[in-house]
Structure 1
Amino acid sequence: MSIANEPAPETPGAQTLRRGLSILKLLARYQPEGLGVSDIARKLELNKATAVRLTRTLMDEQFVAQNADTRRYQLGPESFAVGLAAEPHYALQRIAAPHLRALALETGDWLFFSVRHGLEAICLSRESGDIPYPQASLRVGDRHPLGLGAGGLAILAALPEEEAEMVITINAPEIARRYPQMTEDTVRNLHQTARGQGYSVIPGVLAPGFWGIGVPVLRPDGQPLAAIVLLASAVRLGYARQATIAARLQRVSRDLMLAPSDS
C-alpha cells in the first residue's frame, strides 16, 4: 500500500521552532501586560521546564523581554523590528484606525478590524467603547475560521458563491468543534442571510449577551480584504439599530478604500 500521501513525521527541530513561534503568537495577544512563564506553559500545554527553556532562548535573541517589576514576559525589540518589516502589508489597518476610533466614540460600542488570511480572519486591532469589554470576545491577534464571528462571516458572504461553499465545507467541522451550537446548517443559514442583506449579524456566539455586526472591506474587483465589526450588548443592538449601524459601517468601509495611503 502506498504511503506517498502520508505526512512526514515532524522533526525535533521543527517541533521546537513551532513551539517558539507559538510563544510569540501568544505574547502578541497579551500585549502590553505580558504573561508569566507558568501562564505560558498552561496556555500552550507545555511543561514548565520547556516553557522556561524556549522563553530564555527567545530572550537571548531579543524576541522576548522580561519586565523587571512584574517578571512577566513581553515581546522584545526583535519582534518589533520584524513587525516593522511586515508593516506595509497592514497599511489598510493603519488607515482604518482613526475611522474606527471615531466610530467607537460616536456609538460607545467596541470596533474591531480583521483581515482575511486564507481560510481565516485575523483580528488586527480593536477600539474601545464605553461598555464593559466581554472577556470572551476578540483579542488582537486572535484568528477564527471564516464563517465564525461577524467579521469572518462578513468576509465569507462577500466571496463568490462557489468559493464560499468550499470554505464552509472545509471550515464547518472546526467551527462546530469549537462552538457546538454553530453547526454547518447554522453557518450556511447565517451566510445566506448575510449575503442577502450585505452585512452579518452574530447573536452572542463568541461572547454571550453581546451581538456583532460585520461588513466586508472590498477591493475594487469586489474581493473581500478585511472586515469591520461592531460589538454591542444585546439590549443596545435591537433590530432597528442593526440596520442603522450596518449602514454606518458600510460607509466607513467604502471610505477606507477611497482614502489615500501615506506610503
Structure 2
Amino acid sequence: MATTTQPRSAPPEPADNGEDGSHSYLIAAADRALRLLILVGDTPGLGLSDLARASGNSKARTFRLLQTLEATGFVRRKGSEATYWLSYQAVRLAARAEQQIDLVRLGQPVLEEIGKRCDETVQIRVRQELESLCLSKWETSRIVRYHATVGGTSPLYAGASKVLLAHAPDAVQRAVLASQRHSFTTETPTEATALLRELDRIRDSGHCFSRGEVSPEAFSVGVPVVDAGGQVVAALLIAAPLVRAAGERASELLALAREGSQKLSQALGHG
C-alpha cells in the first residue's frame, strides 16, 4: 500500500516593512524561489501539487519557479510522476558552506593566537568570483590599526589577497586580466604584464607582500591555506600600518602568517 509524505510548511514570509523597514529591498521572486528550494531540501520527493500547497504559491507559479531552479541546476525531477529533489548545484553550495563554516570554526583560535603574538589584525579571506571576501578576523586593540570587516570584499588583484588569485583557476585569472582594474593608489598593480609576473613570484615564494596597494599607509602579507585534497581554499593575512612593518618586522609577520596557515591547513586535514 502506498504511503504519502506530509509536506512541511514553507518558512513564513517576512512582512514588508516599507521604505525604512528591514525587508524594504526584498525581491519577491527571489524570495519565493529560495523558500521553495529550502522546501525541496527539507521534504524531497514531493510533486508539483504538494509543493504548491506547502509553499502557498499557485501551481502555475510553483511550476515556473521549479523550472528556473531546474534550469540552474538546483533541483531535478525524478520519475514519471515528476517529484522534485535537490541537484548538483545545491550539493556544491552546501559543500562550500560546510567548508567555509569549518574555516571559521577551526580558524578563529588560530587567528586569535597569531593575532595576540603579533598584535596586528589577522584575517581569513576566501575567493568569491573575482573578489576576496573576509570570512573571519581578529583585530588588535591598538588605536592605530588595520580595520577588517567580516563579509567585506576587495579585488583579487590588489593587496595580499593576490595570493588567492595566484592559485585560482586559469579562467579566473583570465577574467581578472580582462576586467577593468581600478587603481586605489600609485602602487596598485593594474598593468597586466606586471601582475602576471607578480602572480608567478607568489606561486614560487608561497607568499604575497603588499605595501600601499589598497591604502597608501597599509601593509599586509598573505599565505595560502590548503585543504586535505591539496587545494588552496583560503588565505591567511596579517595586516598592519606600513610604519610598523619596516625592515625585519615584515619577515617576522611572514613567519607568523606561515605558522598560522600551516596550523589551519593541518586542522583541515592537509599533510
Give me the whole-angstrom Cα distance separating, in 2, the residues matched to 1:110 and 1:129. Answer: 6
- Residue 201 of structure 1, CA deviation: 0.8
* 8 Å Cα contact 1:168-1:188 kept in structure 2: no
- Residue 57 of structure 1, CA deviation: 5.5
Q: Which residue of 1 aligns with 2:201?
A: 193
Q: Which runs of 5+ in 2 are unaligned?
A: 1-16, 27-93
Q: What is the CA RMSD across the aligned residues, in angstroms?
A: 3.1
- Do structure 1's residue 139 and structure 2's residue 149 form an aligned pair? yes
Q: Deviations over 1:180-235 (max 9, x none)?
A: 75222453343233223211111122233120001111234443211111011222
Structure with more of its chain in helix, by fraction: 1
Q: Which residue of 2 aligns with 1:216?
A: 224
TM, length-normalised to structure 1: 0.58
**2:165 aligned residue (156, 159, 166):** 156
Q: Which residue of 2 aligns with 1:104?
A: 115
Q: Which of the two has higher C-alpha Rg?
A: 2
1:244-259 superposed matches below 5 A: 244-259=252-267
Give me the whole-angstrom Cα distance separating, in 2, the residues matched to 1:198 and 1:111. Answer: 18
- Residue 164 of structure 1, CA deviation: 6.1
With over 3 angstroms needed to count, the CA separation of the structure-2 counterparts of 1:87 and 1:193, relative to structure 1, is closer
**2:191 aligned residue (166, 174, 184):** 184
Q: Which amino acid aligns with 1:188?
A: L
Q: Which residue of 2 aligns with 1:128?
A: 139
TM, length-normalised to structure 2: 0.57
Q: Which amino acid aligns with 1:120?
A: E
With over 3 angstroms needed to count, the CA separation of the structure-2 counterparts of 1:56 and 1:255, relative to structure 1, is same
Q: Which amino acid aligns with 1:184?
A: E
* 8 Å Cα contact 2:226-2:234 kept in structure 1: yes
Q: Which runs of 4+ in 1 moved over 6 A?
A: none
Q: Which residue of 1 aligns with 2:56?
A: none
Give me the whole-angstrom Cα distance separating, in 1, the residues matched to 2:197 and 2:181. Answer: 17
Q: How many residues align?
A: 182
With over 3 angstroms needed to count, the CA separation of the structure-2 counterparts of 1:117 and 1:253, relative to structure 1, is same
Q: % of aligned pairs identical? A: 24
